[in-house]
Chain A
Amino acid sequence: NAGVTQTPKFQVLKTGQSMTLQCAQDMNHEYMSWYRQDPGMGLRLIHYSVGAGITDQGEVPNGYNVSRSTTEDFPLRLLSAAPSQTSVYFCASSSRTSGNYNEQFFGPGTRLTVL
Chain B
Amino acid sequence: DQQVKQNSPSLSVQEGRISILNCDYTNSMFDYFLWYKKYPAEGPTFLISISSIKDKNEDGRFTVFLNKSAKHLSLHIVPSQPGDSAVYFCAASDDNTGKLIFGQGTTLQVKP
Contact = CB atoms under 8 A, between A and B. Distances in A.
| Chain B binds chain A | yes
Interface of A: 4, 31, 33, 35, 40-45, 48, 50, 58-59, 90, 92, 94, 96, 100-109
B99 A48 contact: yes
A42 B103 contact: yes
Contacts of A107: 43
A106 B4 contact: no
Contacts, number: 65
10 contacts: A42-B102, A45-B99, A92-B43, A101-B93, A102-B98, A103-B46, A104-B100, A105-B46, A106-B44, A108-B43
B87 to A, nearest CB: 10
A100 B96 CA distance: 7
B44 A90 contact: yes
